[in-house]
Amino acid sequence: MKAIRGVVLTCDPAVKQILLTMNEKLSFIIEDLDEHHLVIKADEEWRVRRELEAELEKNTYSLE
Amino acid sequence: MPSVQQASTDSATASEAPSHLLLAFLQSQSQNTLTRLYQRPSSCLSIFRLLGPLERQIVMNLLWLESSIPASTMATWVPHEVRKTYENSLSILSRLHILPQSAVKLALNPTFKTSLRHAIIGGGSSGSFGVPATRDEKHSSPSIEVLDAYALERWETILHYMVSSGIATRPSQGVLFLLQRSGLMASIHGGSLQITSLGFQFLLHSPHAQLWELLLQYLHMVEERQMDLVEVLSFLFMLSTMELGREYSVEHLSPTQTAMLEDLRDYGIIWQRRATSKRFCPTRLATTLTSSSPPLPAAGGVSASAHGQGFIILETNYRLYAYTDNPLQIAVLNLFVTLKSRYPNLVVGAITRESVKKALTNGITADQASRQIISYLTTHAHPQMRKNKPLLPVTVQDQIRLWELEKNRMKSQEGYLYTAFASQADYEYVLNYAKQLGVVLWESSGRRCFFGTLEGHPNIRGFIERRTAGNA
């Protein structure tokens, strides 16, 4: 038995796919649990959040 | 009784706000404190007005009975379907020590009964409703307009200071301290005061709720300042039953109450000609403390009428027109609206994804942001908007909620992934233990692994170590 320290992310499948793509560039995923859950390295969380935010932002149209 | 006529409007609001903020505070007080409070007719009347319609009904039914009545008699009036509501009301009254809980007999607290009777039919010891000052030969008493303007100016100074994060005119030290203690504003790294997320929520509440939130904080500080809670409460209740535009004498006030005059002057609750004046006037903020009328004046110029009636027009294309020249209202709108242009009595802007996101990062709490924004827009909607059903365009409401959801697409929690168990039995054994602790966030028996929280880890590790030590 082993215990691995990490952060569990709960998200929708679409966000999970984006995360998987991001993982190809720079690996941070420890374990792919199921459609809605991923375990990632704890110290990568904020970088991942920032990059995800930027990625989601590309898909929105702004009036301003 | 004015309060009985208000019952219908109260019941409408009662569904969203189950009980008044103050009642919760009173319920946490000792029986001794409450009984002393109930000696004053004005306090009893004010508390009576704060109660829900059903509680008021029960109190009224029992008020004129000399002896107690069997609980079963009272219960036969209650249809079976609403039994729960009735019992709930009884328990509220018993926690306030108005109606002692008893399975056999129902009778009002005798002190409360006597005082409320006095409040209704008059008589008894005078002074509980304030002692009007004798006519002043030199000065005529202030007009209601003067009082309204004063209350509004004081109150908006406080709110505007919060919205501007300490740039606008500073309110007095006492107010600043209160804002800090209530957690509505905080100084970051010892610098100037900044508004907190709690403060943002506060700004979107109705003036009546805001006023009581501040006063409750004041009541919490009373003991530290070695003031008598009963004196403070009864003074607030006294103010709430006074007549607007009439001058009252300070001579009959206790030392504690005299000390309160200064604080209440800062909040705009009372008006005095000079700090040393022997008379004071309650403002509309004071006289509406325990009633359902709006606490801020509704008459007057464009900006003042906007207060009472609402001034916001929201279109389906997310454009927002606010008929106001009030800097405070504009500042509050600026929290979640992108303002485009400003005219003497009109501000035009739009609710955009960016502006809502800004509100979220600014501190309007994430899980309630859309609800708060929508309720603010609803309460301040222009009379023209009230013809629409539903009031706010559904597209805009939904979109605000969607924008909020977008912000929370990913949740995270730190912990440990337990995997590679030797056998299924082994896995289930540890998982069961973790479940008993309530620390399991995710599990999969097929893959034989589970995820536990950070807090649960020391326990689980200890459990596994004990087990392997036992096996060896």
Which chain B residue shows the shortest CA-CA distance from A49?
B410
Return per-residue pLDDT of chain B as tens, 472 residues: 333 333 333 333 333 345 788 888 888 888 888 988 898 888 898 999 888 888 898 899 888 888 888 888 888 888 888 888 888 888 888 888 888 877 788 888 889 998 888 888 876 666 677 777 776 666 777 888 888 888 888 888 888 888 776 666 778 888 888 888 888 887 766 667 777 777 777 887 778 888 888 888 888 888 888 888 888 888 888 888 888 888 888 888 888 888 888 888 888 888 888 877 888 888 888 888 887 776 665 433 333 444 456 889 999 999 999 998 888 888 888 888 999 999 999 999 999 988 888 777 665 555 566 777 888 888 888 988 888 888 899 999 999 888 888 877 888 889 999 988 888 888 888 899 999 988 899 988 888 889 999 888 998 888 888 888 877 6
Q: Which residues of A touch B416 (CB under 8 A)?
A: 3-6
Which positions ≥6 away from B471 have C-beta within 8 Å?
Answer: none
What is the span of the domain harbouring residue B46? 2-121
Peptide bond into B390 cis (omega under 30): yes
Q: Are residues B67 and B154 in the same domain?
A: no
User: Which residue's structure tokens are 């005798």?
Assistant: B110
User: Last residue of a domain, which of B388, B407, B426?
Assistant: B407
Tell me, what's the pLDDT at B451?
A: 92
Q: CA B125 → CA A39, B118, B221, distances in Å? A: 72, 9, 30
Q: Which residues of A touch B421 (CB under 8 A)?
A: 1
Q: Are residues B368 and B450 in the same domain?
A: no
C-alpha to C-alpha distance for B451 and B41, rounded to whole angstroms? 60
Q: Determine whether the interchain pair A11/B352 forms a contact, defined as Cβ–Cβ distance below 8 Å.
A: no
Q: Are residues B258 and B152 in the same domain?
A: yes
Distance (Å) from the alpha carbon of A58 to chain B's nearest alpha carbon: 14
Residue B421 belongs to a domain with what CATH number? 3.30.70.2610
Among B338, B354, B417, the residue with its CB nearest the CB of A39 is: B417
Which chain A residue shows the shortest CA-CA distance from B460?
A3
Q: How many CB pairs under 8 A join A and B?
A: 83
Contact B400, B368 (CB under 8 A): no
Which H/E stretch holds residue A6? strand A2-11
Instruction: Please give the ipTM for the structure prediction.
Output: 0.86
Q: Determine whether the interchain pair B417/A60 forms a contact, defined as Cβ–Cβ distance below 8 Å.
A: no
Q: Which of the residues A19, A22, A33 would you substitute to probe the B interface, choosing the one with the greatest number of B C-beta atoms within 10 Å?
A: A33
Which chain A residue shows the shortest CA-CA distance from B355?
A64
User: Last residue of a domain, which of B407, B428, B451?
Assistant: B407
CATH 3.30.70.1220 for domain A7-58, yes or no, is yes
Distance (Å) from the alpha carbon of B101 to chain A's nearest alpha carbon: 48
Q: Determine whether the interchain pair B441/A60 forms a contact, defined as Cβ–Cβ distance below 8 Å.
A: no
Does the beta carbon of B103 lie under 8 angstroms from any beta carbon of chain A?
A: no
C-alpha to C-alpha distance for B114 and B110, rounded to whole angstroms? 6
Q: Determine whether the interchain pair A7/B412 forms a contact, defined as Cβ–Cβ distance below 8 Å.
A: yes
> B139 lies in a domain?
no
Q: Which of the residues B410, B414, B416, B468 would you substitute to probe the A interface, choosing the one with the greatest number of A C-beta atoms within 10 Å?
A: B410
> For helices B144-163 and B302-309, what crossing angle results, to 10°?
80
Q: Are residues B110 and B154 in the same domain?
A: no
> B195 lies in a domain?
yes
Tens of pLDDT along B233-265? 888 888 888 888 888 888 888 888 888 888 888
Q: Are residues B73 and B207 in the same domain?
A: no
Does the beta carbon of B413 lie under 8 angstroms from any beta carbon of chain A?
A: yes
C-alpha to C-alpha distance for B21 and B340, rounded to whole angstroms? 38
Q: Are residues B99 and B173 in the same domain?
A: no
pTM above 0.90, yes or no: no
Q: Determine whether the interchain pair A39/B422 forms a contact, defined as Cβ–Cβ distance below 8 Å.
A: no
Q: Determine whether the interchain pair B444/A34 forms a contact, defined as Cβ–Cβ distance below 8 Å.
A: yes
> B366 lies in a domain?
yes
- Chain A residues contacting B, CB < 8 Å? 1-12, 15, 30-31, 33-34, 37, 39, 42, 45, 49, 52, 56, 60, 62-64
C-alpha to C-alpha distance for B105 and B67, rounded to whole angstroms? 10
User: Last residue of a domain, which of B373, B407, B441?
Assistant: B407
> B297 lies in a domain?
no
Q: How many domains does chain B have?
A: 4
Q: Determine whether the interchain pair B457/A3 forms a contact, defined as Cβ–Cβ distance below 8 Å.
A: yes
Q: Are residues B227 and B278 in the same domain?
A: yes
Q: Are residues B187 and B274 in the same domain?
A: yes
Give the domain ranges of chain A: 7-58
Q: Are residues B15 and B106 in the same domain?
A: yes
Q: Which residues of B touch A1 (CB under 8 A)?
A: 418-422, 426, 430, 464
Q: Determine whether the interchain pair B409/A8 forms a contact, defined as Cβ–Cβ distance below 8 Å.
A: no
> B296 lies in a domain?
no
Q: Are residues B175 and B244 in the same domain?
A: yes
Q: Are residues B421 and B364 in the same domain?
A: no
User: Which residue's structure tokens are 């233990």?
Assistant: B433
